[in-house]
Each structure stands twice: as C-alpha cells, then as structure tokens.
Amino acid sequence: QVQLAESGGGLVETGGSLRLSCTASGRTSSSYLMGWFRQAPGKEREFVAAIDRFDGTYYQDSVKGRFTISRDNAKNTLYLQMNSLKPADTAVYYCAASSSGGLVSAQYRYNSWGQGTQVTVSS
C-alpha cells in the first residue's frame, strides 16, 4: 500500500498560480500511474491529470494548457502546476496512485488516495 500526502493548496486570485505536491511513502515502486482528481462543492469527484511510469501525461480537456503534471521519482513526489486559475478550478484536490489497469481517468483503478488539499480561486 502507498501512503499519499498532498500540500500546496490555498487561496489565489483569478489568473494566479499554485503548485500542489503529493509525497508518497510505502510501496511506491508498485504505483505505475499517479493522478490528480478534484471535487468541487456539490459535485462528484473528477479526473484532472495523470502521469505514467514512462512520463506520459494525460489531462482533462478543461485544464489542458493551464495545468502541468510531473513527478520526481528520487523524491517520491508528484506535482501539479496550475496556472491561469479560474473560479471553476475551486475544489479539494486529491492525489492518487494506481497499481492496476484500466482507464487513466477511472477512479476505480486508483487504490491509494491522499486526504486532499483545498484550492480556492477568488473572482
């Protein structure tokens, strides 16, 4: 099992930037896909971005060109650089790790989750 801990959330104005971090511990070698999800108030949790073991990246259409996912394997840390933030990006952001197959954006394939970090974008 992999333990995940997010950090870096906060309050930012429209157009601003934030970088989220997710530090992994435990059996990190078994996680070949890492992802970010978010849940806005009153909405279901949704896929944001993912990165595989070959550094292939995947994004939700609404964040393409604004968000960048990356990983530092030496530090067991996953990042999400978020630029040009909009009020619609306001949500709790979760990092997740997958050691199984399936769709990149499917929550069912992720078997480890962090506790989440709040991102609030003011208008």
- For the segment 34-93, what is each residue's pLDDT rounded down to a tens digit? 999 999 999 999 999 999 988 999 999 999 999 999 999 889 999 999 999 999 999 999
Q: How far apart are CA 39 and CA 28, in angstroms?
A: 25
Residue written as token pair 């601003």: 16
For residue 12, give the H/E element and its range.
strand 10-13
List Cβ neighbours of 4 (8 Å cut-off, separation of 6 or more). Answer: 22, 23, 24, 95, 96, 97, 112, 113, 114
Distance CA 111, CA 121 (A): 29
With beta carbons less than 8 A apart as the criterion, state whether 111 and 100 touch.
yes
Report pLDDT digits (tens) over 87-111: 999 999 999 999 887 889 999 999 9
Q: Which strands sit side by side in the sheet containing 77-82, from one edge to the other?
A: 2-7, 18-26, 77-82, 67-72
**Helix (H, G, I), strand (E, B), or coil: what is residue 60?**
coil
